[in-house]
């Protein structure tokens, strides 16, 4: 059938239709295939066209194994498409070398994971300073910015704590501060509330939304319908096919006026 993602809705046309303005990321006929044990290739992501605007908030939902994490890795430039083009601010990422791509990622893109992915042996502050490793800023400046980022997520009183001395929700806040400290263009979060209780999960989502309020785009994979419901735009994946979930929600407050 017709791929709905190739057919911008009237709602999205207003920002998709302005060349060079508003678009942060675009996928053009992007596919992903992996080779199995017997050497045959399996198509994990079918040809996908997608535009993500500056400041946009998107939830990705779908069953386990449907390709959510694969799509997130492609969007986050962690993995390369098998075919098609990924553009970042208009630049063709698929034509970049490994080094250029990792520099782009380090400087402009934040990641948050279900299991937090913090360094166990160092403090919250040092974990957040990792987010500025790519910079040439002096250590004192990196420390000040990391402190401010931790204060921003309500952890100004936990700077010296190690991850094991923090609750799950606090560890995820450290991970968010690590993403925020670089003032990213976009934050990708793969099941960021999956290891947390419901209330803590909504607090984490509040913090991610606050980041989007200051201009970052936000893409969150979730299996929780209550989390997805908070997003103005939702994508559904099934067997590697991505569809927009037609929403009755508005685009108000989605930050790309």
Residues 49-68 contacting Mg ion, CB under 5 A: 68
Q: How far is it, in rounded angstroms, from Cα 144 to Cα 140?
A: 6
Question: What is the C-alpha separation between 214 and 105, in angstroms, rounded?
Answer: 19
**Given the DSSP bridges, would you call strands 186-190 and 217-221 parallel, antiparallel or unpaired?**
parallel
**Can residue 114 be called a binding residue for ligand ADP (CB under 6 A)?**
no
Under rule CB under 6 A, residue 222 binds ligand ADP: no
Q: Is 69 in the site for Mg ion (CB under 5 A)?
A: yes
The label of the residue with tokens 């390709």 reads 67
- 222 touching Mg ion, by CB under 5 A: no
Write each residue from 53 to 92 as x if it is in contact with ligand ADP (CB under 6 A), else as -, in one continuous string. ---------x-xxxxxxx----------------------
State CA 229 to chain mean position distance.
17
Q: Which is nearer to ligand ADP, 68 or 178 (CB)?
A: 68
Could you tell me the smallest distance in angstroms from the CB atom of residue 39 to Mg ion?
A: 25
Q: How far is the CB of 244 from ligand ADP (least distance, A)?
A: 17
Q: For residue 121, how many other CB atoms are within 10 A of its CB?
A: 10
Q: Does 48 bind Mg ion (CB under 5 A)?
A: no
The minimum distance between CB 79 and ligand ADP, in angstroms, equals 8
Q: Which residues pair with residue 243 across a beta bridge?
A: 236
CB of 192 or CB of 255, closer to Mg ion: 192
Q: What is the DSSP string of 111-180?
A: EEETT----TTS-HHHHHHGGGTTS---HHHHHHHHHHHHHHTT-TT-TT--GGGS-HHHHHHHHHHHHH
34 binds, among ligand ADP, Mg ion, none (CB under 5 to 8 A by kind): ligand ADP
Per CB under 5 A, residues contacting Mg ion are: 68-69
């Amino acid at each position: 059938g017709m791929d709905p993602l190739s057919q911008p809705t009237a709602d999205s046309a207003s920002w998709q239709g302005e060349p060079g303005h508003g678009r942060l990321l675009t996928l053009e006929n992007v596919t992903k295939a992996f080779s199995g044990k017997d050497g045959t290739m399996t198509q994990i992501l079918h040809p996908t066209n997608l535009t993500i605007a500056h400041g946009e908030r998107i939830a990705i939902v779908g069953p386990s194994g449907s390709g959510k994490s694969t799509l997130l890795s492609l969007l986050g430039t962690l993995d390369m498409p098998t075919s098609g083009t990924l553009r970042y601010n208009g630049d063709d990422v698929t034509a970049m070398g490994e080094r250029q791509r990792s520099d782009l990622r380090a400087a402009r893109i934040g990641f948050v994971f279900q299991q937090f992915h913090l360094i166990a042996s160092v403090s919250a502050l040092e974990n957040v300073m990792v987010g500025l490793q790519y910079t040439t800023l002096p250590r004192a400046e990196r420390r000040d910015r990391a402190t401010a980022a931790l204060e921003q997520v309500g952890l100004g009183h936990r700077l010296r704590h190690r991850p094991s001395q923090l609750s799950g929700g606090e560890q995820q806040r450290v991970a968010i501060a690590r993403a925020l400290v670089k003032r990213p263009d976009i934050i990708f979060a793969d099941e960021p509330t999956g290891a947390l209780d419901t209330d803590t999960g909504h607090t984490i989502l509040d913090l991610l939304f606050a980041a989007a309020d200051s201009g970052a785009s936000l893409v969150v994979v979730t299996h929780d319908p209550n989390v997805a419901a908070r997003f103005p735009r939702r994508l559904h994946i099934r067997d590697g096919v991505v569809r927009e979930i037609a929403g009755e929600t508005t685009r108000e407050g989605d930050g790309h006026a």
